[in-house]
Amino acid sequence: MLLNGLKVLDFSGLLPGPFATMMLADLGAEVVHITKPATGEGRWIVDDYLQRSKKSLAVNLKDPTVIEHLRELVAHYDIVVEQFRPGVMERLGLGYEALKEVNPNIIYCSISGYGQTGPYKDKGGHDINYVSLAGIHGYSGSQQQGPPNLGIQIADLAGGSLHAVVAILVAVIYRTRTGEGQHLDISMTDCALALNALAAPEFLVQGKPLEREQMMLNGGSFYGHFETQDGRYMSVGSIEPKFRQALCTAIHRQDLLPLVMSYKSADELAFKQQLAEIFKAKTYEQWVEIFAKIDACVEPVLSFEETVTHPLFLARNMFVDITKEDGTIQKQLACPIKSNVFQPVYTAACEAIGEHNEDILGLSIK
């Protein structure tokens, strides 16, 4: 595996850190997840996914003896990932400077909502707050209903998790070249801000205000979702000229070509109104059948249940069967990274809490 030999101590919880270290584990890194001892409460079902292929240590981080054992352990590891608020790891004796004394080459990745510095560093937050402060929700959604409530975590995952993995791997390359470790400061809000890749230049370079339903991709054109006769939706992303032409061909409205090919805002909105009426004239299944034969960047809006059985994702092996500790099989999302050199590895759905305490630390669960 690509990351064989890399050893990671993962102090993170919830979603961003565990998702990042799961990716590292999928790619062959040895990840040890450090968590609290079991409380007897039910386990978060997402843990079976996020903690797959990781070893588990369950310890009391307020116990000085445990802290000393963990400091000794750091000498044998390459990477530390933590997701506490700034200052917590320092108070525990596990901050970067303290662990750097034990292992000068350690790569230490801190994931937090607002970063290790700045006026918001001690504030709590969630994905909705980070995305809002990053300006994304300021121009997303509709003028009538305001910002959207999304079903995925943009700042947590696309921000914190993915940027953390990139930063860690860059740090590994840097250490290979120089022998030096480093402290990585990953702010989920900073990373969400950086995702304004298309919109930001319009304001930063051209000084153009970013408003809802005023740009090509946020409702200011026919790019969007259209309801069908039976209350389902189709997504239309026919931006380029050839796709605009293919769209008009599919709906049998070549007469609308002058309107859609003008690229004028008023014409695009007029075409959008026409599309809304046209899509409501047929059922979802009828439109799916029509656009299955035409390359126009028009696809159905699937339920997740439909996505799980869709031929695209089945062909791409995007779902895997993982064996749980009790021997049962659980279906999970697969690692999306494909290569002709390596394959992701899934050793287990999720280890029992504290299963490796004695193997790694020589401690019974505390």
Establish whether 126 is a catalytic residue. yes
Q: Are residues 303 and 322 in the same domain?
A: no
Is 275 in a helix, a strand, or coil?
Answer: helix
Per-residue pLDDT tens, the chain, 366 aa: give them: 689 999 999 999 999 999 999 999 999 999 999 998 877 665 677 888 999 999 999 999 999 999 999 999 999 999 999 999 999 999 999 999 999 999 999 999 999 999 999 999 999 999 999 999 999 999 999 999 999 999 999 999 999 999 999 999 999 999 999 999 999 999 999 999 999 999 999 999 999 999 999 999 999 999 999 999 999 999 999 999 999 999 999 999 999 999 999 999 999 999 999 999 999 999 999 999 999 999 999 999 999 999 999 999 999 999 999 988 778 889 999 999 999 999 998 887 666 777 788 777 765 444
Radius of gyration of the chain (CA): 25
Q: Are residues 279 and 322 in the same domain?
A: no
Is 165 in a helix, a strand, or coil?
Answer: helix
CATH code: domain of residue 241: 3.30.1540.10
Q: Are residues 257 and 335 in the same domain?
A: no
Residue 216 lies in a domain: no
Residue 122 lies in a domain: yes
Q: Are residues 237 and 145 in the same domain?
A: no
What pLDDT does residue 41 have? 63
Residue 205 lies in a domain: no
Q: Are residues 176 and 236 in the same domain?
A: no
Of the candidates 53, 339, 31, 51, the one whose C-alpha atom is nearest the C-alpha of residue 168 is 31
* Residue type at 18 in one-letter notation: P
Q: Are residues 244 and 277 in the same domain?
A: yes
Is 321 in a helix, a strand, or coil?
Answer: strand
Q: Are residues 147 and 33 in the same domain?
A: yes
Give the DSSP H/E element, type plus range, for residue 107.
strand 107-112
> Of the residues 308, 326, 344, which one is the last residue of a structural domain?
308
Measure CA 252 to chain center: 39
Beta carbons of 189 and 130 less than 8 angstroms apart:
yes
* Residue type at 85 in one-letter notation: R
What pLDDT does residue 42 have? 57
Number of domains present in the structure of the chain: 2
Q: Are residues 191 and 248 in the same domain?
A: no
The first and second tokens of residue 235, run together, are 């997504």
Residue 202 lies in a domain: no
Catalytic residue among 10, 127, 156, 190: 156
Q: Are residues 260 and 332 in the same domain?
A: no
Q: Within a 10 A sphere around the Cβ of 244, how many other Cβ atoms?
A: 22
Q: Are residues 293 and 331 in the same domain?
A: no
Structural domain for 129, as ranges: 7-195+318-361
Establish whether 156 is a catalytic residue. yes
Residue 211 lies in a domain: no
Q: Are residues 266 and 171 in the same domain?
A: no
Catalytic residue among 126, 183, 267, 356: 126
Residue 214 lies in a domain: no
Q: Where are the beta strands (DSSP E) in the chain?
A: 7-10, 30-35, 55-58, 79-82, 107-112, 182-187, 224-227, 233-236, 298-300, 319-323, 329-333
Strand 182-187 with 224-227, pairing: unpaired
> Of the residues 266, 283, 308, which one is the last residue of a structural domain?
308
The first and second tokens of residue 1, run together, are 């595996």
Measured CA to CA, the distance from residue 109 to residue 191 in angstroms comes to: 14
CATH code: domain of residue 113: 3.40.50.10540
Residue 201 lies in a domain: no
Q: Are residues 121 and 261 in the same domain?
A: no
Residue 25 lies in a domain: yes
